[in-house]
């Protein structure tokens, strides 16, 4: 069907139209596999799906080198945050949006589409390169679980890129924060709220006091904290015996993060004591941060590729995690590049067709610069 759209935009719309919440990525994965096989490329799927409760494992496609150059890997995740309605992509004045009142899925299917279209052109035009690997992961949105379950030793390339930052094309992400999850479970005493309230110990009241006393939001230019979920109680007329909340903390300074988590634990414990409740806490370091310098190889290569594409590079830090966190922790060099996504995880999520095309150009330029740098 000829929609009049560039091929990368058509591909993106096809991918976005299919829901793929974490753990349910099979339909989109099948589209990716079919696309790559149509280019006479083989795709290998590992056994991560069974280990992380997903319908797919990690997909790896290797395009053998056709010349000299530094081999590169490109990674994108196939899951999106769960949609809360139908996904009906429309193109309006050069912008792809969802008319269905929920997310679009540009995070991260815009990256998938740009990487696939660049691969098609490399193969069709027989472009010289030093080796390319494409990795597509599941369950990124719920803790980078697909990438964490992938055996990075299978990658020949030691330098790679993800396009997983909502920002203008040209923004190079030099670092991501350390992250820590914190769960708190309060246990009080149930009682009838009208007849014997003095005999009860409200777990909800204790949890509310803790949350009120926590320092939340943006604490400084590199540190944030948040309480995201709160559950408790059984009925309106029962003093609640149990209450549970989930929280997180992030900082680009690992030491500062440790101090903040300890402060949060002490605040939670003190609130439980004041409410005459017990509390159990669990802390899970969910992602290790990283920081690149501007003269590190992946940054220099990205800057050269952007300039070759007519884009002036800029540099910044991310407040979120991406699969890049996993690879950098394991000794690979993986850089995150902004790809033009806007208002991700919201019903206003959108991306310009021109930005999809520009990221194809950036991908091709990365491959060219890596070839020429050898």
Domain regions of the chain by residue span: 7-176+289-372, 178-287
As given in the structure block, the two tokens for residue 101 are 């009142």
Catalytic residue check, 355: no
Helical ranges in the chain per DSSP H: 7-16, 26-38, 48-52, 106-124, 145-148, 203-213, 254-274, 297-308, 323-329, 353-372
Classify residue 214 by burial, with Cβ atoms within 10 Å: 0-12, 13-18, 19+. Answer: buried
Question: Tell me, what's the pLDDT at 234?
Answer: 94
Question: Tell me, what's the pLDDT at 374?
Answer: 64
Classify domain 7-176+289-372 at the CATH superfamily level. Zn peptidases (3.40.630.10)
* Active-site annotation holder among 10, 79, 241, 368: 79
* Active-site annotation holder among 25, 117, 140, 164: 140
Residue 148, phi then psi, degrees to nearest 5 = -65, -30
Catalytic residue check, 79: yes
Question: Tell me, what's the pLDDT at 1?
Answer: 44
Strand-pairing partners, residue 352, are: 95
Average predicted confidence (pLDDT) for the chain? 96
Taking residues 327-339, report their average pLDDT: 97
Q: How confident is the model at residue 3 (pLDDT cuts 50, 70, 90)?
A: low
Domains 7-176+289-372 and 178-287 share a fold: no
pLDDT in tens, 213-250: 999 999 999 999 999 999 999 999 999 999 999 999 99
Which CATH class for the 178-287 domain? alpha beta
């Amino acid at each position: 069907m000829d929609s009049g759209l560039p091929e990368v935009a058509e591909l993106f719309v096809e991918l976005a139209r299919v829901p793929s919440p974490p753990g349910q990525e099979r339909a989109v994965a099948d589209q990716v596999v079919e696309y790559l096989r149509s280019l006479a490329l083989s795709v290998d799927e590992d056994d991560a799906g069974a280990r992380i409760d997903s319908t797919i494992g990690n997909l790896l496609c290797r395009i053998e080198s056709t010349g000299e150059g530094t081999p590169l890997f490109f990674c994108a995740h196939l899951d999106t945050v769960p949609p809360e309605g139908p996904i009906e992509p429309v193109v309006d004045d050069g912008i792809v949006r969802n008319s269905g009142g929920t997310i679009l899925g540009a995070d991260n299917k815009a990256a998938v589409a740009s990487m696939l279209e660049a691969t098609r052109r490399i193969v069709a035009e027989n472009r010289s390169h030093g080796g390319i690997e494409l990795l597509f992961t599941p369950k990124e949105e719920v803790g980078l679980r697909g990438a964490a379950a992938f055996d990075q030793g299978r990658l020949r390339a030691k330098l790679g890129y993800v396009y997983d930052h909502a920002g203008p094309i040209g923004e190079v992400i030099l670092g991501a924060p350390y992250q820590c999850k914190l769960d708190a479970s309060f246990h009080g005493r149930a009682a009838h709220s009208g007849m014997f309230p003095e005999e009860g110990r409200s777990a909800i009241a204790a949890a509310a006091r803790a949350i009120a006393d926590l320092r939340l939001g943006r604490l400084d230019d590199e540190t944030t904290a948040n309480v995201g979920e709160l559950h408790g109680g059984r009925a309106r007329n029962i003093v609640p015996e149990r209450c549970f909340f989930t929280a997180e903390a992030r900082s680009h300074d690992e030491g500062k993060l440790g101090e903040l988590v300890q402060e949060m634990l002490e605040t939670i414990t003190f609130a439980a004591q004041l409410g005459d409740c017990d509390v159990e806490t669990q802390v899970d370091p969910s992602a290790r941060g990283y920081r690149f310098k501007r003269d590190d190889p992946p940054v220099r290569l990205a800057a050269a590729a952007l300039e070759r594409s007519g884009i002036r590079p800029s540099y910044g830090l991310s407040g979120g995690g991406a699969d890049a966190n996993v690879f950098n922790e394991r000794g690979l060099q993986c850089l995150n590049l902004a790809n033009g996504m806007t208002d991700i995880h919201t019903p206003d999520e959108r991306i310009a067709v021109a930005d999809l095309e520009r990221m194809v150009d950036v991908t091709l330029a990365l491959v060219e610069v890596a070839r020429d740098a050898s």
